[in-house]
Amino acid sequence: MATVRPFRALRPRPEIAPRIAAVPYDVVNRDEAAQLAAGNPLSFLHVSRAEIDLPPETNPYADAVYEKAVANFQVLRPSMIEEAEPSLYFYRLRMGAHQQTGLAGCYSVDEYARDVVKKHEKTRREKEDDRTRHIIDLRAQTGPVFLTYRASAAVDAVAARVCAGMPLYDFTAPDGVGHAVWRCDAAASAELVAAVGALPCLYIADGHHRAASAARAHEQFQGAAAGPPQEHAWFLAVAFPDNQTQILPYNRVVKDLNGRTPDEFLAAVRTRFTVSAGRPQPARKGACSMFLAGQWHDIALLPPGAPAGADPIASLDVSLLQDGVLAPLLGILDPRTDKRIDFVGGIRGAGELERAVQGGAAAVAFSMHPVTVAELMAIADAGAIMPPKSTWFEPKLRDGLLSHLI
């Protein structure tokens, strides 16, 4: 069974919360982070991406970056509130017509290790090293992991009651995404602990590196006998029900056609799949849209109505594209390491794919149908790993609104 624990959050004063809240550290590069934080000394990017306050040539993993992060965190602390009592929170995201409400709290590192909190991605050691040191040096987890779970009527009932009250925060960020947070009282928190305790498991949707880093930081704190175990044995996360969680596609662009002309490449694809005049987004699972030489084409990776295969990974559209086009025709055998392929989150839209091809940065682009939450859960339940860059979750949580002090 899963576990959630109330915690004493460090959070911004309400009047400055919109200025502190920042996009996750790993969805922007250094230059984008610097641009977003420009003119705003309160932006949490000064903590999560402290290299923006150092010379551009600074190695992002240099000691000076972590020292600057600690210093910037201390500068922000007077502008923040440390709760006197442990609480759970509801965090609601709004993007256009879509809305999702998650339960923010501390989740068990031990359950992460025992796969009660299930994974579907591999992590990279250097990214783990970075966030592990960030947690240890700050003595805080400042960016929540994004979890999902099979929807619970008991959690939904408490959410409806709590979110009918006055939120701590309710603002719209510059990107148009709305963020609202409510604090649960002791009675509601107790109900939620029991409701989550009835869930057989949780799933990491986004934030595998954050979760892995929290687990490694826990091991190091234990080894050094530093900090109370009840804090570093837990990681900060927001858990959303599966029927509210939204996944966008993760699209592909390839720099060249592996020695073929556009006409030759199109002909080669036609020998493997049914290809027709297409649109920027595929209409169904089992199809993808290809932008080549200024035109969109629909590729039927599976015939309409064809049943999904027994292997949950092989039947993913990204796997069908990899096995049917990227590897045999474009020579991309390992998309994790091949420098000729790049990945574009669905939030950027089909226009980004067209610009990449028409601007010469890529020779061909593939617009994918999004993976479903059910597919993600099936793969995690099987103990398997998704292909790289299979899911893009939107809207995204903001760093800095809720931090867990260790």
Instruction: Give the tens place of pLDDT for each residue, 66-118.
Output: 999 999 999 999 999 999 999 999 999 999 999 999 999 999 999 999 999 99
Rg (CA), the chain: 22
Q: Tokens standing for 108?
A: 């068990």
Q: Is the pLDDT of residue 305 over 80?
A: no
Contacts of 309 (CB under 8 A, 6+ apart): 315
What's the distance, CA 119 to chain centroid?
13
Kindly give the pairing relationship between strand 202-206 and strand 117-118.
Answer: parallel
pLDDT band at 224 (very low <50, low <70, confident <90, very high): low
Contact 290, 366 (CB under 8 A): yes
Q: Is the pLDDT of residue 254 over 70?
A: yes
Q: Give pLDDT, residue 304.
A: 77
Q: Give pLDDT, residue 312.
A: 86
Q: Give pLDDT, residue 388.
A: 84
Mean pLDDT of the chain: 95
Q: Give pLDDT, residue 329.
A: 98
Selected residue with higher pLDDT from 264 and 305 = 264
